[in-house]
Amino acid sequence: KSDSDTYSCDIGDAQSRAKLAVQETPVLFKQELENKEAKEGKQVRLTCELSKPGTPVKWMKGDTVLYASEKYEFKQQGTVAELIIRDVKSIDA
């Protein structure tokens, strides 16, 4: 997308210009989240894979945005995004 702009070819006495508009491809899930079960007090890892590396991911529980803490850890490498929930309790379901 950042390559969108006006480009020109200059030969001194004349110039030719063209506009380049780059359409971004939508980010899709290559692998969606899967349901998990965990024993209370353990940790659980939720993983999804995206079609585009480096895509910003926002993790949520219901309508609540999650933030990194002792409870929640986020990892993202390439197209894979992970949420690690530590010391799970029944309220985490």
Chain segment 5-44, per-residue pLDDT in tens: 999 999 999 999 999 999 988 999 999 999 999 999 999 9
Is 16 a domain residue? no
Is 1 a domain residue? no
Is 4 a domain residue? no
Is 9 a domain residue? no
Is 83 a domain residue? yes
- Sign of CA pseudo-dihedral 71, 44, 91, 41: negative
Q: What is the pTM of this model?
A: 0.76
pLDDT above 90: residue 58: yes
In this prediction, residue 16 carries a pLDDT of: 95
Number of structural domains in the chain: 1
In this prediction, residue 1 carries a pLDDT of: 81
Is 23 a domain residue? no
Residue-range definition of the domain harbouring residue 71: 29-92
Element (H, E) at 14: none
The arithmetic mean of pLDDT across residues 40-51, rounded, is: 96
Token code pair at residue 53: 């590396």
